[in-house]
Structure 1
Amino acid sequence: MSCPYHNSSTSNNTPAPPIKPKTIRDWWPEQLDLRILHQDVLLARPSHVPHPSSSSYASYSTNFSKLDLYALRNDIYKALTTNNPHWPADYNHYGPLMVRLAWHSAGTYRTFDGRGGGNTGNIRLAPLNSWPDNANLDKIRRYILWPIKQKYGQFISWGDLIILAGNVAIESMIGPWKSVEPLWFGGGRIDAFAPEEDVYWGNEGEWLKDDRHHHGGGGKGATTTATTTGLDKPLGAVQMGLIYVNPEGPGGDPDILASAKDIRETFYRMGMNDEETVALIAGGHTFGKAHGAADADKYVGPEPEGADINEMGMGWKNTFNSGKGKDTITSGLEGAWTAKPTQWDNGYFHNLFKFEWEKTKSPGGAIQWVPDAESIAKNGGDYAVRNVPDAHDASLKHLPIMFTTDLALRYDPLYGPISERFHSNPEAFTDAFKRAWYKLCHRDMGPKSRHLGPWIPNEELIWLDPLPDRDYNTVTSYYVKVLKGNIIRAVNNERSDLTISDLIKAAWASASTYRKTDHRGGANGGRIRLLPQRNWSVNDPQSLNKVIALLEKRQQDVNQRMKDNNINAQVSFADMIVIAGNAAIEEAARRAGKVITIPFVPGRTDATQAQTDVDSFKFLEPVIDGFRNYDGSDDLRPEKALIDRAHLLSLTTPEMVVLMGGLRVLNANTDSSQIGVLTEQPGVLTNDFFTNILDDNVKWSPSADGKLFRGTRSTGRDWTASRVDLVIGSNSQLRAIAESYASADSAEYFLRDFINVWVKVMMLDRFDLLRGEDVDESTTVLGRRPSKL
């Protein structure tokens, strides 16, 4: 398996793109970009394809359960071992190329925002289908996998099929096929049918450029300075169009130790520790070969999205001789790492440590490494060392090769000892690779409750954010009502130093960690009471700890009461924090003269500290949360982060607006800050925020740093607001929505829509309900969806 990077993916004769008509974005490039909230790539699907956030997920689950997975597995194996003349297999086996397809499908995942990964099968779509690093993967998908997908249709998604085929490829090379144990695998990926156009993959305007390292960075030929200064967040790959790192070295410079730094940073950003990184690179390069038969710039045409219409979506047309087989050009590097490129063994480490390596160039002009003359002589001469079979001519043998990134696994002071241990203990290497491969392919799948099929691991893996099984009945509606009354009475007690706003802040802090990109976070598990979330500054720890103490006491009381009454039921802390937030909002509505009951579905369970990966949870900590008017960054435009958080919470633009307006009047800012609390009656659920933010009699003037604004009022009591607040009134689209909620007849619409969105956020991680009921429908108020717009 290789990581292609070398060709620019466009020929020198490619015409310049036509001039496009000006768009809104062209005229006003600094305008707040709301497109990501308009675009649900899963809604752009044919009607018969399921959507994962509705009862249609149950449809896919049902279809998947009807699959004969063993028959499918055999069909994949047959396709992998049957040569297709359209794209001849190296060594008569498509296994290595299939591993690369699965790897590159899943390998875009990044921990900072959970985006990327193979969860939607988006390697079929732009821009990923046309990244230089994905060169020629269109062939394996079209020629080998498409006939299988066509046969099984809606019973398996492209996302699941690609990962399962990668597993089968590995299994087939571990062998023997009839007796090999299936690797861990969880299904449940739902395909996208539109590209994720607004995901930030980098600001470079040219393939393989690097403007993403702090203080700059180069492309090919750049110095290694950039590698020491760090990548921009949230990016993982070191250059535009790469999955991970440049195999020749940073920017094409074959500096082995600098390459190790690149590897460590980018793999860490994709959720891997050092041992997993070594296992994955070594395991991947145990299979297959790199392809660089000639100079890509001379012979390789445009990528799929840039190819001529008659190419029918195929890219990288190669005019060098036959253009395939021995003439294939992918990465520009050429050769294989081991003597058995379609078998699992320890040959990679054997060669890595057996030889000393000298720098050379491939036929395609890329820097790579081969055994030096002294090593060849010491190990029996050229004939003995030249033991790598040719991929298409059985009469030829080649020297093994290594990339600069491979040598980093030997010479880096941290990677080296791990590699030596794997070299001396092949069983440990095999186990580490299987585990790291499962993590690579499932990092964006969320907890095991979302995974389908018979090959899900039984053991608890902390990176899957495990939750304990519930061995008790859920709390009844009667006791929920009892709890609400007890909590509100405790807070309203004149001796209490808590407010209903504190309860709302705690519930929001618990649930709003959810990310739809990798299904992490959320209220389930009650991790708000554990490290690290309990101490996050955005969560207002002083207030939060008081809320936790109150709710833990009420939880113990009601559980004991149910036990005394011989009721086999309990309420979890995770349910308690949602109940408390709901009770507080009901009280805020009562203060506004409205009697409401917020829908509540019990069943959450409580994770332990031992089940919580503190290191990886730190990536979920908000640096900016516009919903709480919290800004712990130097970003001069925090409103952009509001849009990003709304997208991670799967909110639409109207949902974002109504939710923010409600949280402001509920006084739910971090540290009870009054920034943006544009109401004379904080803690009362009204539409005051919208009426006041749109009041033309208020004149706003910025502070020195431009982050806060003073709103001068004729009443003498001035407002203070943030950029996040003011954007609701200044952006034309957001203002149009705000006007609908500020109208004289909108108070009840506002209340209904706010409650619906609140419940939606509280329920985002209830994956246990996805297969059996429509969570979206069950959690709307009076059966009505938001919003009136």
Structure 2
Amino acid sequence: MWHPEKDIYWGSENEFLAPSEERYSNLEDPSTLEEPLGATHMGLIYVNPEGVNGKPDPLKTALHVRETFARMAMNDEETVALTAGGHTVGKAHGNGNDSVLGPEPEGASIESQGFGWINPKGNGNGADTVTSGLEGAWTTYPTKWDNGYFDMLFNHEWELKKSPAGAWQWEPVSIDEDKKPVDANNPEIRQNPIMTDADMAMKKDPIYREISLKFKEDQAYFSETFARAWFKLTHRDMGSRNRYIGPNAPSEDLIWQDPVPAGKTNYNVEEVKNKISKSGLSISDRICIAWDSARTFRGSDLRGGVNGARIKLAPQKDWDGNEPTRLSATLSILEPIASEFGISLADTIIIAGNSAVEEAAKAAGYDTNVPFKAGRGDATQEMTDENSFNNLKPLADGYRNWVNNKHLSNAEEMMLNKTQLLGLTAPEMTVLVGGMRVLGANHKGSNDGVFTNQLGVLSNDFFVNLMDMSNKWNISGENKYEIVDRKSGNVKWTASAVDLIFGSNSILRSYSEVYAQDDNKGKFVNDFVSAWTKVMNADME
């Protein structure tokens, strides 16, 4: 990467650590945090260590900690274990005035060599380090794994003080000298321990308090819970267990790994495809169920995708973005076919989508064979963590021209976020959107962006009509536009902002112009098939 990724949705704020109100509908209700975000501020990983918006209030902070960690699929016990375990060792750094720090890494001069935030005081590290702004260790022995965190938290009363860097932190009202941690840089002196506002939440919140006291009295249980929560935290982005290698990989299947049994591989794909083609399912029905299954894949943590056929299970079967009624009807036809051939529903869904693409391409005058990998399995409801899977719930899908009401104003950004999670390039995004429009894959049959008179044919009509200078565009509502004939003034089609971005953005327009060319119809079909296959097989790589 030559620069920070810009296709990830970090939030609507224009600056790091902007007030939390900018990402909550109601700051008093943490559940109103804008989806799919998790941190309380842009630029933080979890919550503000000083308190909500930098104002200490442990009980209020507890609610935000709970929401943030729930969005990471962590329960209350795992949250306490990770907080306490993470603060059992090490210290926070805020021994100085953060106003004297140099520019951030990307803004620092070339001789800084990308380190950034250079501290002109002393050597800038060790005793002079300023990171979070809080200063101090949490336990008496911060290099030792013990139960010192809970002993310190519950055996002392705490009061608010300011760190040398000016950050709010909690320190003991009274503490014996031998209970203080040794200074990290001078073993001859001791310093007060500290607690963040989130640490105090572990004591003040009744649910967290009960768990903390349980851990305090049972070091072995705390260690085991932390080990499992830490393993989950640090391996969550590896996907299912079959991706693990090496002698230290555990053999236990854990529900957060989204286990999927192996599927059958030796069967006649063409026979299944023919059966599906004669089933009465439309091209649109087949495209939609395949896409809705595959689009949940996230390259960030290798979760989601078609494998497991979890689209038939809760919670996915009830997501509005999956059109539950239509989905149920399609599944009622595909499931018996899967049973008849003794194959997984997951494979059957992909074959259905591929057969639709092949038929649409043939209608456009191109015989093509969409590549297919067999061997997906079907998960059960017992193998599926419903709460965890709700984090994969689509809030928008530019490929199906759908967005929920909360994201009407940034539908294009949400499409980019989905694109990068699927591992697609800008040209792949372009060709897929154009193809999906003419295949009738819009959510609930919307006509927005369907710039064609031959629905179900894999043509380049979307790009031809988008680039046609005999048309002009008018705003007709929020995220709603009309394509109007310049001469007659008649409305020809309607569109969303996602559709128009392929004409207004100079880079995307250049790709659209390529696909709009008369001599690139074959290229369009081939590129669509390639990008489609990439998405369908993303969870098999």
User: Does 2:309 align with 1:526?
Assistant: yes
Aligned to 2:221: 428
1:338-417 matches, cutoff 5 A: 338-373=139-174, 376=175, 382-383=176-177, 386-417=179-210
**TM-score, structure 1 normalization:** 0.63
User: Does 2:257 align with 1:474?
Assistant: no
Give the match's secondary structure for 2:88: coil
Query: Cα distance 1:331–1:527, how it changes in 2: closer, same or farther (>3 A)?
Result: closer
Q: Cα offset for 1:754? A: 1.4
Aligned to 2:4: 195
Give the match's secondary structure for 2:159: strand
Aligned to 1:250: 52
Aligned to 2:258: 465
Q: Is the contact made by 1:358 and 1:369 (CA closer than 8 Å) also made in structure 2?
A: yes
Aligned to 1:22: none
Q: How many Å separate the matches in 1 of 2:293 and 2:25?
A: 38
Q: How many Å separate the matches in 2 of 1:727 and 1:621?
A: 24
What amino acid sits opposite 2:367 in the alignment?
V
User: Does 2:467 align with 1:676?
Assistant: no
Q: How many Å separate the matches in 2 of 1:239 and 1:728?
A: 31
Aligned to 1:572: 344
What amino acid sits opposite 2:446 in the alignment?
S
Q: Cα offset for 1:714? A: 6.5
User: Does 2:416 align with 1:643?
Assistant: yes
- Choose from 327, 330, 333 the match for 1:544: 327
Aligned to 1:589: 361
- Choose from 648, 654, 668 the match for 2:427: 654
Aligned to 1:144: none
- Structure 1, 584-593 or 407-416: larger mean CA deviation: 584-593
Q: How many Å separate the matches in 1 of 2:121 and 2:500?
A: 58
Give the match's secondary structure for 2:482: strand
Query: Cα distance 1:531–1:229, how it changes in 2: closer, same or farther (>3 A)?
Result: closer
Aligned to 1:190: none
- Choose from 518, 521, 529 the match for 1:744: 518
Q: Cα offset for 1:412? A: 1.0
Q: Cα offset for 1:674? A: 2.8
Aligned to 2:494: 720
Q: Structure 1 unaligned runs (5+)?
A: 1-40, 45-193, 218-224, 377-381, 492-497, 560-570, 768-789
Query: Cα distance 1:589–1:416, how it changes in 2: closer, same or farther (>3 A)?
Result: same
Give the match's secondary structure for 1:389: coil
Q: Cα offset for 1:226? A: 6.9
Aligned to 2:92: 290
- Choose from 669, 686, 690 the match for 2:459: 686
User: Does 2:97 align with 1:261?
Assistant: no
Aligned to 1:490: 279
Q: Cα offset for 1:752? A: 1.3
Between the two proteins, the alignment pairs up a number of residues equal to 539
Give the match's secondary structure for 2:340: helix
Q: How many Å separate the matches in 1 of 2:136 and 2:230?
A: 23
Q: How many Å separate the matches in 1 of 2:489 and 2:56?
A: 68
Q: How many Å separate the matches in 2 of 1:304 and 1:606?
A: 46
Over the residues paired in the alignment, what is the CA RMSD in angstroms? 2.9
What amino acid sits opposite 1:652 in the alignment?
T
What amino acid sits opposite 1:753 in the alignment?
D
Q: How many Å separate the matches in 1 of 2:491 and 2:49?
A: 62
Aligned to 1:236: 38
What amino acid sits opposite 1:530 in the alignment?
L
Query: Cα distance 1:233–1:540, how it changes in 2: closer, same or farther (>3 A)?
Result: closer
Q: How many Å separate the matches in 2 of 1:342 and 1:694?
A: 64
Q: How many Å separate the matches in 2 of 1:475 and 1:740?
A: 40
Deviations 1:587-616 (A, max 9, x none): 222333332222212111111111122212
Q: Cα offset for 1:207? A: 5.2
Query: Cα distance 1:742–1:402, how it changes in 2: closer, same or farther (>3 A)?
Result: closer
Q: Cα offset for 1:433? A: 0.8
What amino acid sits opposite 2:354 in the alignment?
N
Q: How many Å separate the matches in 2 of 1:735 and 1:336?
A: 54
Aligned to 1:760: 534
Q: Is the contact made by 1:511 and 1:523 (CA closer than 8 Å) also made in structure 2?
A: yes
Deviations 1:346-404 (A, max 9, x none): 1111121112222333444433333324xx5xxxxx44x54433334444344433233
Q: Is the contact made by 2:108 and 2:114 (CA closer than 8 Å) also made in structure 1?
A: yes
Query: Cα distance 1:255–1:480, how it changes in 2: closer, same or farther (>3 A)?
Result: same
Aligned to 1:418: 211
Query: Cα distance 1:753–1:434, how it changes in 2: closer, same or farther (>3 A)?
Result: same
Q: How many Å separate the matches in 2 of 1:207 and 1:750?
A: 41
Deviations 1:183-233 (A, max 9, x none): xxxxxxxxxxx532454445656554435544799xxxxxxx678685444
Q: Is the contact made by 2:484 and 2:490 (CA closer than 8 Å) also made in structure 1?
A: no
Q: Is the contact made by 1:638 and 1:723 (CA closer than 8 Å) also made in structure 2?
A: yes
What amino acid sits opposite 1:515 in the alignment?
R
Query: Cα distance 1:417–1:674, how it changes in 2: closer, same or farther (>3 A)?
Result: same
Q: Cα offset for 1:581? A: 1.1
Query: Cα distance 1:475–1:416, how it changes in 2: closer, same or farther (>3 A)?
Result: same
Give the match's secondary structure for 1:519: coil
Q: Is the contact made by 1:203 and 1:212 (CA closer than 8 Å) also made in structure 2?
A: no
Q: How many Å separate the matches in 2 of 1:357 and 1:414?
A: 20
Q: How many Å separate the matches in 1 of 2:320 and 2:329?
A: 15
Q: Is the contact made by 1:623 and 1:633 (CA closer than 8 Å) also made in structure 2?
A: no
Aligned to 2:282: 499
**TM-score, structure 2 normalization:** 0.90
Q: Cα offset for 1:711? A: 4.0
1:104-123 matches, cutoff 5 A: none
Q: How many Å separate the matches in 1 of 2:118 and 2:467?
A: 57
Q: Cα offset for 1:344? A: 0.9
Q: Is the contact made by 1:516 and 1:650 (CA closer than 8 Å) also made in structure 2?
A: yes
Considering Cα pairs closer than 8 Å and 6+ residues apart, tell me whether 1 or 2 has the greater RCO. Answer: 1
Aligned to 1:222: none
Give the match's secondary structure for 1:414: helix
Q: Is the contact made by 1:582 and 1:598 (CA closer than 8 Å) also made in structure 2?
A: yes
Q: How many Å separate the matches in 2 of 1:675 and 1:588?
A: 20
Q: Is the contact made by 1:227 and 1:258 (CA closer than 8 Å) also made in structure 2?
A: no
Give the match's secondary structure for 1:468: coil
Q: Cα offset for 1:729? A: 3.3
Q: Cα offset for 1:507? A: 0.9
1:262-341 matches, cutoff 5 A: 262-298=64-100, 300-321=101-122, 323-341=124-142
Q: How many Å separate the matches in 2 of 1:481 and 1:292?
A: 65
- Choose from 363, 371, 379 the match for 1:599: 371
1:90-169 matches, cutoff 5 A: none
Among all aligned residue pairs of Structure 1 and Structure 2, give the percentage whose two residues are the same amino acid. 49
Q: Is the contact made by 1:626 and 1:639 (CA closer than 8 Å) also made in structure 2?
A: yes
Q: How many Å separate the matches in 2 of 1:400 and 1:417?
A: 23
Q: Cα offset for 1:658? A: 1.6
Query: Cα distance 1:342–1:637, how it changes in 2: closer, same or farther (>3 A)?
Result: closer
Query: Cα distance 1:729–1:240, how it changes in 2: closer, same or farther (>3 A)?
Result: closer
Q: How many Å separate the matches in 1 of 2:187 and 2:525?
A: 74
